[in-house]
A and B are shown apart, each in its own frame.
Chain A
């Protein structure tokens, strides 16, 4: 797929001929320097933005043909999001934030039990009734992970989930996400500028100037360059 912002001489090609597939249950890291197009790519996969050309298939569905309502439903049921800033709704409690995707889906059955279970998993059972703006950054990010998982999505997308945290808290979040991948068997796509933070992962895609390279390709390019 391709993504271009603007037209003519001022056009910016954010993504150029990006093409790859991901296996179910894979933990994929998308790395790259600032401005390389990694967040744009994640936005395309998360259906938050449309590619200028090309197609995106998620869970066997060609998403580029979906209308706005179908995209919203798809995002709600098949995708889970964890943002750099936890992006919790400050007007709601931690528990209500985690429940929100389920409320939007209007499937209230066992919702509270599921949300509490997830909050226990991420270690926030004591803070569940606190207002979202009354907890620490690390706790907010853990709540955001729980919110991203409440609808048992096929794919969890995380955009710099540790980017706004201190190193100790970041390490806790990384370990939590890796343990969840093993436990839940869901596909995790994580955008980060620091791949070493995540240690061993299933796969790494490097973004450079809007193009995506598998780790082996990237290594080959680096060897050739040296």
Chain B
């Protein structure tokens, strides 16, 4: 082993307080980045997960300008022939005014979004049915699953209650229909359909007089990385139709773009934290150099060159950086593991989607190691400027 590494190690071991302080500074910098990543990236990924599971799927097909008038069964079959497709389902969007009579008193009418689903296919292509806490998912033509916010606004509608919806069909005519509430849907974080109602797609088609028309086709994949490939293949296969096919990143862009900027800002704050730890290392290294002035003088007197002294203190920076990076990464991974295993969530909000991003973990460790070495350059340079005679006078 190079004597400078050996000496750097010994000097640090014999200054345990400084070593612990410097290692803590590096590791806390890394931990902040990990915690930020777990929370904010986890929140972002959780929102993407829920939007995908409840609303958009891995691929969302719609018509560029109007409803899809091609047979939804034909399109679903086209998708389900692809081995990467788990399931596909058709949906139709609409809106209606809703009111209910509770304890003999009619509530004020208000408008809500209405989603028509194919109950059988939807449970395979989406997980929105899992958000039904009370009762069950849509199973009959007159059954309705109500979003928890809608139920609350209607004065506490419960499973088994009747509600009346007023639609406007494609000809501009009002259509009234009664439904039985069979389930209440509520999603953690509100990314589901808490503010909508869900009914059978054929019922909605019939009310709106849009038989054989579909709003969107939601496609679930077993390998989401194939989404672009499958989407492009679909668009190439139906060139004369005005289909629009989007991956989750495209379809959820409006909801996610602002959040992404927020994450970038939070990461920036994390890196500023890391810079602060670099300043702490500069201070600690300056103290180490100051406490080793006599030793530097002795080494210079017995023949050590300036570059030997520079290397010695850079090695110290490397040791601090390596130990801090290891400790910080270890702590960060422990936190990530805890967050993942406990499906961490904050006050009943949606559970974080925690992942081990090894590229980011490695990048953070390397950055903090590099910063520790860079932070050691100035103290190391100062050490080389000491004159042996002057340095040895220090007691």
Give A contacts to B, CB under 8 Å. 43, 46, 48-49, 68-69, 72-73, 75-77, 81, 83, 87-92, 96, 100-101, 103-105, 147, 151
- Does the CB pair A72–B300 fall under 8 Å? yes
- Does the CB pair A81–B301 fall under 8 Å? yes
- Does the CB pair A101–B303 fall under 8 Å? yes
- Does the CB pair B14–A90 fall under 8 Å? yes
Known: A48-B389, A77-B303. 14 other contacts (CB 8 A): A49-B387, A49-B389, A69-B305, A75-B303, A76-B304, A83-B301, A87-B294, A89-B295, A90-B14, A91-B295, A100-B299, A101-B303, A104-B299, A104-B308
- Does the CB pair B392–A100 fall under 8 Å? no
- Does the CB pair B302–A46 fall under 8 Å? no
**Listed A/B pairs (11) with beta-carbon separation below 8 Å:** A68-B305, A68-B306, A72-B304, A72-B305, A76-B302, A81-B302, A87-B294, A88-B298, A96-B6, A103-B3, A151-B303
> Provided the pairs A89-B7, A103-B3 are in contact, do residues A46 and B301 lie with their beta carbons within 8 angstroms?
yes
Bound Cα distance from A150 to B14, whole angstroms: 26
Instruction: Give the A-B pair count, Cβ closer than 8 A.
Output: 66
- Does the CB pair A91–B7 fall under 8 Å? yes
Bound Cα distance from A221 to B306, whole angstroms: 45
Give B contacts to A, CB under 8 Å. 3, 6-7, 10-11, 13-14, 294-295, 298-306, 308, 387-389, 392
Bound Cα distance from A147 to B299, whole angstroms: 12
- Does the CB pair B392–A72 fall under 8 Å? no
- Does the CB pair B303–A104 fall under 8 Å? yes
Closest chain B residue to A100, Cβ basis? B302
User: When the two chains form the complex, which single residue of B3, B13, B294 contacts A100, counting CB atoms closer than 8 Å?
Assistant: B3
- Does the CB pair A72–B389 fall under 8 Å? no
Measured between beta carbons, the chain B residues less than 8 angstroms from A104 are 3, 299, 302-304, 308
- Does the CB pair B14–A105 fall under 8 Å? no
Bound Cα distance from A76 to B298, whole angstroms: 12
For the complex, would chain B's binding face be called helix, strand, loop or mixed by DSSP majority?
helix
Bound Cα distance from A28 to B22, whole angstroms: 49
Nearest-Cβ distance from residue A93 to partner chain B, whole angstroms: 9
User: When the two chains form the complex, which single residue of A75, A90, A91, A96 contacts B302, counting CB atoms closer than 8 Å?
Assistant: A75
Bound Cα distance from A73 to B295, whole angstroms: 18
User: When the two chains form the complex, which single residue of B6, B295, B388 contacts A48, counting CB atoms closer than 8 Å?
Assistant: B388
- Does the CB pair A91–B10 fall under 8 Å? yes
- Does the CB pair A48–B301 fall under 8 Å? yes
Bound Cα distance from A104 to B10, whole angstroms: 17
Bound Cα distance from A87 to B301, whole angstroms: 10
Measured between beta carbons, the chain B residues less than 8 angstroms from A73 are 303, 305
> Provided the pairs A89-B298, A91-B10, A100-B3 are in contact, do residues A76 and B303 lie with their beta carbons within 8 angstroms?
yes
Measured between beta carbons, the chain A residues less than 8 angstroms from B10 are 91-92
Bound Cα distance from A69 to B387, whole angstroms: 13
Bound Cα distance from A69 to B310, whole angstroms: 13
Nearest-Cβ distance from residue A189 to partner chain B, whole angstroms: 15
Measured between beta carbons, the chain A residues less than 8 angstroms from B305 are 68-69, 72-73
Bound Cα distance from A105 to B303, whole angstroms: 8
Pick from A48, A75, A91, A151 the residue with the most CB of B within 10 Å.
A91
Measured between beta carbons, the chain A residues less than 8 angstroms from B294 are 87
Measured between beta carbons, the chain B residues less than 8 angstroms from A91 are 7, 10-11, 13-14, 295
Bound Cα distance from A91 to B11, whole angstroms: 6
Nearest-Cβ distance from residue A14 to partner chain B, whole angstroms: 12
Please provide the 7 A-B residue pairs with the shortest distance between their CB atoms, ordered closest to farther. A76-B303, A103-B3, A91-B10, A72-B305, A75-B303, A48-B389, A87-B298
Bound Cα distance from A137 to B294, whole angstroms: 17
Measured between beta carbons, the chain B residues less than 8 angstroms from A105 are 303
Bound Cα distance from A43 to B299, whole angstroms: 15
Nearest-Cβ distance from residue B259 to partner chain A, whole angstroms: 52
Nearest-Cβ distance from residue B57 to partner chain A, whole angstroms: 64
Bound Cα distance from A151 to B305, whole angstroms: 16
- Does the CB pair B11–A83 fall under 8 Å? no
Closest chain B residue to A105, Cβ basis? B303
Bound Cα distance from A68 to B3, whole angstroms: 21
Bound Cα distance from A52 to B184, whole angstroms: 95
Bound Cα distance from A96 to B11, whole angstroms: 13
Closest chain A residue to B297, Cβ basis? A87
Bound Cα distance from A73 to B305, whole angstroms: 8
Measured between beta carbons, the chain A residues less than 8 angstroms from B389 are 43, 48-49
Bound Cα distance from A63 to B387, whole angstroms: 17
Measured between beta carbons, the chain B residues less than 8 angstroms from A75 are 301-303
Bound Cα distance from A81 to B294, whole angstroms: 15
- Does the CB pair A72–B298 fall under 8 Å? no
Measured between beta carbons, the chain A residues less than 8 angstroms from B3 are 100, 103-104
Bound Cα distance from A83 to B306, whole angstroms: 21
Pick from A43, A68, A81, A104 the residue with the most CB of B within 10 Å.
A104
Bound Cα distance from A76 to B299, whole angstroms: 10
Measured between beta carbons, the chain A residues less than 8 angstroms from B387 are 48-49
Pick from A81, A88, A147 the residue with the most CB of B within 10 Å.
A81
Nearest-Cβ distance from residue B309 to partner chain A, whole angstroms: 10
Closest chain A residue to B11, Cβ basis? A91
